[in-house]
Amino acid sequence: MSSPCRNAALLKWVDECARLCRPDRVVWCDGSREEYDRLMAAMTASGAAIALKKRPRSHLFRSDPSDVARVEDRTFISTPSRVEAGPTNNWIAPDELKGTMTGLYRGCMEGRTMYVIPFSMGPLGSPISRFGVEITDSPYVVCNMHIMTRVGSRVLEALGTDEEFIPCLHSIGAPLKPGQKDVPWPCAPMEQKYIAHFPEENLIWSYGSGYGGNALLGKKCLALRIASAIARREGWMAEHMLILRLTSPEGRRFHITGAFPSACGKTNLAMIEPTIPGWKAECLGDDIAWMKIGPDGRLYALNPESGFFGVAPGTSYESNPAAMGTLKENVIFTNCALTDEGDIWWEGMDGPPPAHAIDWKGRDWTPASPTEAAHPNARFTAPAAQCPVISPDWEKPEGVPIDIFIFGGRRASVAPLVHEAYDWDHGVFLGSTAASETTAANIGAVGNLRRDPFAMKPFCGYNMGDYFAHWLAMGDRLGKNAPRIFYVNWFRKSPSGKFLWPGYGENSRVLKWMCERVAGRVTGRPTPIGILPRQEELDLQGLSLPHDDLAELLRVDPAAWKAEIPDIQKHFAQFGDRLPGRLAAQLQRLRERLG
Ligand code: OXD
Ligand code: MN
């Protein structure tokens, strides 16, 4: 097929990649519905996809059991010096990594088609948006990119003859010999997987995995790792944050962004249905926020994605009705279970489990089976526009002005339900020390406590110490317009291991308190760790929360916090002289307040 592209740099790069990867053919993706349906039909015919009888235009994929999540151990920030990548990233020198990966890419698309996907992160025409082009040999990736980004001819048109783009090269790393039969989910062994970022060149190379953030390169690779490095250079922010609008009964709008580690309920909070009367919520994004200071000096946030790549297990009409409403049609499901009626199922979905299903590995499953039917990191890929609570302003080119930042994590103890930072520096301290128990979103042990600063540990494209400094610098620029900073923990447990807070829609009660703090309607109470609500300031009408549970949720235990200090010190020490003195001063102040 002759190329529809007029952009000289893009043509040259595609030509170089084709010579290196040696695909049987090159296809320029036009982003049309017809293209999506054609690829899905081909994948259904080959056995890679299963068309779901119960959901129009929806398909189920089962990955290789070794390729089920992001691979942080195989993810690299390849800056010229190790210190630029910092202690929280894996590092290999660019020459060495390029040498290794070039060897892997050589001939890696033999027997396959190379797809060229021009895409835009953010709506076309927005001053905040950026272009990327992903080259991939996975039609599954092409279809996911159709949902997660704006793709195709309109982007190619916007790329014109010389518009800049971020090149993203992806291969599943599984060439086919002539006559060799393909498998449903081809990928390379773990030790050959590389998710590589070259921030100095704005370049992304990914090899060996077809799953999620490893392969949909607009998401974590471009919109977080590379964008965070660009944002630092250019003076804006690329964050692992949901974006939410809350409107009070009086009609005042509050815009909130929230950073939580993967699989800690970010999508649920993004689509919250408030349980408190008169408050309305709209979703603007569930995973990533790009934020720039606007002409009025406030911070404006835009979601660069156009779809949700959400964790399926636990999603139900009870926990997240808006997500369930989004999943009725045009959805890609990965590693969910298949019911005998031709629908998907996962643990935690409403109603009783099916009497029989096919599990994510393609085996017969019944409720008596010893293993889960869906993988804990099973996902749905769904268009954001289908979300019943999507805000009419979610694609507003200039974004929305942010009032509130929330940080949080999953902690059984120590962190109370909510506390507010005393000021910006203290808020940056809270973000920089955020801690959470690990989840299935990454390959590795689940349930261990780790510090995940700003929920960006796996996603910061440069030295995290410099990233903290960038946050401080943004606060200096924002001054009195800076959003207020809060820290939440929906996951605190009683000594007997029971969750103390009901979570989900009831989290609106905590959001309301934050809005009332912003509006100056409540004072809170100062504690050594920050400002907590007075018990009577939390709107708990209609909620039967035992008094002791409330007291425990809002309890600050100085001894437990003092015990945290050596761990925070150790965490900070890894950044050496890149740790801003202002954060060391915050730690000292916390120590003093704890007495
Ligand atoms: C995600 C993640 O997929 O954070 O959003 O893992
Ligand atoms: Mn995420």
Question: pLDDT tens digits for 313-336?
Answer: 999 999 999 999 999 999 999 999
Compute the distance from residue 261 Cα to the ligand 2 centre, in Å: 7
Please state the domain extents for the chain. Answer: 8-48+71-236, 241-286+395-594, 308-381
* Class of 8-48+71-236 in CATH: alpha beta
pTM (two decimals)? 0.96
Beta carbons within 8 Å of 219's beta carbon, 6+ residues apart: 148, 212, 213, 287, 288, 305, 309
Cβ 484 under 6 angstroms from ligand 1: no
Q: Which CATH number fits domain 308-381: 2.170.8.10, 3.40.50.450, 3.40.50.720, 3.40.50.80?
A: 2.170.8.10
Pocket probe for ligand 1: among 148, 305, 309, the residue whose CB has the most ligand atoms within 8 Å is: 309
**Nearest atom (ligand 1) to Cα of 262:** 4
Measured CA angle at 379 (ends 377, 383), to 5 deg: 155
Q: Which atom of ligand 1 is nearest to 213's Cα?
A: 3
Which residues make beta-bridge pairs with 487?
Answer: 407, 419
What was the pLDDT predicted at 263?
72
The whole-number pLDDT of residue 349 equals 97
Max CA pair span of the chain = 73
487 lines ligand 1 (CB under 6 A): no
Ranges of residues in the chain with a pLDDT under 70 are 1-2, 439-447
Q: Which residues contact 422 (CB under 8 A, 6 or more apart)?
A: 526, 530, 531
CA 305 centroid distance within chain: 10
Which ligand 1 atom is at minimum distance from the Cα of 455?
4
In the prediction, which pLDDT does 441 show? 64
- SS3 for 291-316 is EEECCCCCEEEECCCCEEEEECCCCC
**Ligand 1 pocket, 287 CB below 6 A?**
yes
CATH architecture designation of domain 241-286+395-594: Alpha-Beta Complex (3.90)
Q: Which residues 6+ apart lie within 8 Å of 43 measured at CB?
A: 49, 59, 61, 139, 140, 143
Cβ 262 under 6 angstroms from ligand 1: yes
303, 229, 121: which is closest to 456 by C-alpha? 229
Q: Which residues pair with 114 in a beta bridge?
A: 26
Query: Per the residue annotation, which of 108, 221, 264, 336 is the catalytic one?
Result: 264
Q: How far is the CA of 263 from the centre of ligand 2 (A)?
A: 8
- Confidence (pLDDT) at 265: 83
Residue 21 annotated as catalytic: no
Q: For residue 498, how many other CB atoms are within 10 A of its CB?
A: 8
Tokens of 73: 């151990």
Query: Residue with structure tokens 């916390």?
Result: 590
Question: How close is the Cα of 213 to the center of ligand 1, in Å?
Answer: 7
Which residue minimizes the CA distance to atom 2 of ligand 1?
262
Residue 240 to residue 454: CA distance in whole angstroms:
8
pLDDT value of position 284: 98
Written as one string, the DSSP assignment of 510-567 is HHHHHHHHHTT----EEETTEEE--GGGS--TT----HHHHHHHT---HHHHHHHHHH
Please report the pLDDT score of residue 218 as a whole number. 98
Q: What is the CA radius of gyration of the chain?
A: 24
**Dihedral sign computed on CA atoms, order 314, 320, 323, 325:** positive
What pLDDT does 1 receive?
52
218 alpha carbon – ligand 2 mean position (Å): 12
- The verdict on the CB of residue 288 being under 6 Å from ligand 1 is no
Angstrom distance (rounded) from CA 370 to CA 377: 18
CA 477 – ligand 1 centroid, Å: 30
Q: Is the CB of 212 under 6 A from ligand 1?
A: yes
Neighbours of ion ligand 2 (CB under 5 A): 262, 287
